[in-house]
Amino acid sequence: MNLVKTGSALFSIMLLLTSFSKPEQPDPKFHLYLLVGQSNMAGRGIITAEYSGPSQPNVLMLDKEGKWVTASHPLHFDKPARAGVGPGLAFGLEMAKANPSVRIGLIPCAVGGTAIESWQPAAMDLATRKYPYDDAVARLRIAMKSGMIKGIIWHQGEANSKAERSAGYLENLETLIGRLRQAAGDNNLPFVAGELGHYRDNYQLVNDQLKQLPGKVKNTALAGSEGLIHKGDKTHFDAASATELGKRFAAKMILLQQ
């Protein structure tokens, strides 16, 4: 009788243990991309009817609360009153088009107005009281519980486009790439930077350094901004140009991944 009771108790314990669901594992078919930089990555293009709808159901974004939702403009929430059309959504749609068998997860982390010096551990952006690098890594870790990180896109440099602030830009970017790759657990993670707009002469100070990136850091590329225009403020891409830049980011990312 005691053996029967013991066996029954063991069976109950085993049933109880198996009733708990196993921890979720990252989905290898959920491809994640980190979106980092300043306002032209966050997006400042005007959201007209053409850009106001949600995207495809297989292109998701990690929202402010760390939840996956269908991606739509604006992706970013760095400055809610200013956030608009950026390159991120078009990038995600192109990546989904190139690989229809997977879902795409966009991790928006850009912060408008930030200099590259703000993109290092424990550095605070005084204007927004945010910690751009630390926040990006924290969001990356949340996202990686669900999927596999496949690349990073970066657009930044307007805040460093004066002679005294552009010195050492490429070295700072190289350091940042190394840190982000380490955080992602992939020292060869594809990284695509975007050129600043050609509509301001001083932006060339940063663009000249960005052009050297592919020859200096392995598995990196540069998405050009030729022909793209600003929205009237001589700083931010208009919606159509931001969208085109997103497609250029995707084309370069696809080449790196091949």
Residue 197 confidence (pLDDT): 98
**Residue 91 is assigned to a structural domain of this protein:** yes
Residue 23 confidence (pLDDT): 57
pLDDT higher than 90, residue 24: no
pLDDT higher than 60, residue 21: no
Q: What percent of the chain is predicted at pLDDT more than 90?
A: 87
Q: What is the mean pLDDT of the chain?
A: 92
**Residue 189 is assigned to a structural domain of this protein:** yes
DSSP conformation letters of the chain: -HHHHHHHHHHHHHHHHHHSPPPPPPEEEEEEEEEEESHHHH--B---GGG-S---TTEEEE-TTS-EEE--S----SSTTT--B-SHHHHHHHHHHH-TTSEEEEEE---TT--GGGSSTT--BTTTTB-HHHHHHHHHHHHTTTEEEEEEEEE--GGG-SHHHHTTHHHHHHHHHHHHHHHHT-TT--EEEEPPPTTSGGGHHHHHHHTTHHHHSTTEEEE--TT--BSSSSSSB-HHHHHHHHHHHHHHHHHHH-
**Residue 215 is assigned to a structural domain of this protein:** yes
pLDDT higher than 60, residue 124: yes
pLDDT higher than 50, residue 179: yes
Instruction: Read off the CATH number of the domain in which 133 is found.
Output: 3.40.50.1110
Contact 41, 153 (CB under 8 A): yes
* pTM (predicted TM-score): 0.90
**Residue 14 is assigned to a structural domain of this protein:** no
Q: How many Å apart are CA 192 and CA 257, to the nearest integer? A: 11
Residue 19 confidence (pLDDT): 41
The average pLDDT across 182-189 equals 98
**Residue 3 is assigned to a structural domain of this protein:** no
Give the range of the structural domain holding residue 212, as residue numbers without chain letter.
Answer: 24-257
**Residue 10 is assigned to a structural domain of this protein:** no
**What is the band of 22 on the pLDDT scale with cuts at 50, 70, 90?**
low
**Residue 15 is assigned to a structural domain of this protein:** no
SS (H, E, C) 2-27: HHHHHHHHHHHHHHHHHHCCCCCCCE
**Residue 132 is assigned to a structural domain of this protein:** yes
**What is the band of 171 on the pLDDT scale with cuts at 50, 70, 90?**
very high
How many structural domains does the chain have?
Answer: 1
